[in-house]
A and B are shown apart, each in its own frame.
Chain A
Amino acid sequence: MKRVPTLCPSCDHQLQVRRLACEHCGTEVEGMYPLPPLASLSAEDQAFILEFVKASGSLKDMAALMKVSYPTVRNRLDEVISRLQAAADTASSTPDSAP
């Protein structure tokens, strides 16, 4: 599966969505849409969040699933939270650039 690039390969700044298209009728929308914070996470972090939601947000169940201890999962979640906060901070500090 193709991975959505989140950072500019040239200057490492956060990429934004420039164009969206409807596969059904071919309509295209153009603009400057910031990526949602979740989409800016790495594939591993996104998979972790997905499993976490599937486990109804139970760290205990996640620990059993990942075969690690509760604090190991807790620390992993803390890392993801801090990355999400950083992504949200970046998104809020990026000025809107209209096309």
Chain B
Amino acid sequence: MKLPQILFHPFHRIAGVQALGIGLAILVAVGLLGARQGLHFDGVLDIHVGRAGPWWLFVAEGLIDWLSLALVLLAAGRLVSRSAFRSIDLIGTQALARWPTLGVALACLAPGFHRFNEELLKALTSLKPGEIPSLPTDSPDVVVFAVVTLVMLLGTVWMVALMWKSFSHCCNVRGGRAVTAFILGLLIAEVLSKLLIGRLFLIA
């Protein structure tokens, strides 16, 4: 498999149970890396640095994100596709489509990222009305923070591209109707995952 295919269309070669296995392993790894540094994937498209919690909370966040979108897209696929596609292919490849989050979780381990994030939060929360924030921009951590933020942004865009590719390939759908179904599915899944993760925070 060539590099562009691995990066942007791995589902040409990998789908079904194989994709599900790899995807679940990545989801658990991302959850454990998140637990180490308080990195929450608290929504299908969300990445936030927040409070610490038990490791299972971080793993459960990833599982909720994946299942919310996979099940909503499964319903959308059944509506718009004429092909007799298998549910396991869409569910498995949607898990694998979240693999850029592994890169994001690893990038956030970069020394200085969390330090700068804390300083930034401190500066912003102590801000009085009308005051201009004095951000610690002279620190070398700012470069690390900027690079990691860029990785987060690119990782999210890449993940959405993979989610679309998974939907389009597994359900064999293209065109305006498919794009509309995907965007609507993404929005519904985002809301659904936020609600479920909100409930999860109450338990944890």
Contacts and interface: CB of A to CB of B under 8 A. Distances in A.
Contacts of B115: none
A1 to B, nearest CB: 30
Contact of A78 (B12, B19, B83): B83
B11 interface: yes
Contacts of B14: 69
B101 to A, nearest CB: 22
Contacts of B13: 67-69, 72
Interface in A21-74: 67-72, 74
B83 A74 contact: yes
Determine the main DSSP class of A at the interface with B.
helix
B169 A75 contact: yes
A7 B84 CA distance: 31
A72 B19 CA distance: 14
B16 interface: yes
B89 interface: yes
Most chain B CB within 10 A, of A67, A68, A71, A75, is at A71
B23 to A, nearest CB: 13
A75 B11 contact: no
Contacts, number: 38
B86 interface: yes
B172 A70 contact: no
Contacts of A71: 11, 15, 85-86, 89, 169-170, 172
A75 B172 contact: yes
B12 A70 contact: no
B83 A70 contact: no
Contacts of B86: 70-71, 74
A85 to B, nearest CB: 12
A74 B12 contact: no
A69 B16 contact: yes
B11 A74 contact: no
Given A70-B89, A71-B89, A78 B16 contact: no
Nearest to A76: B172
Interface in B77-108: 83-86, 89
Given A69-B15, A69-B89, A70-B15, 7 more contacts: A69-B13, A69-B16, A71-B85, A71-B170, A72-B13, A74-B86, A75-B83
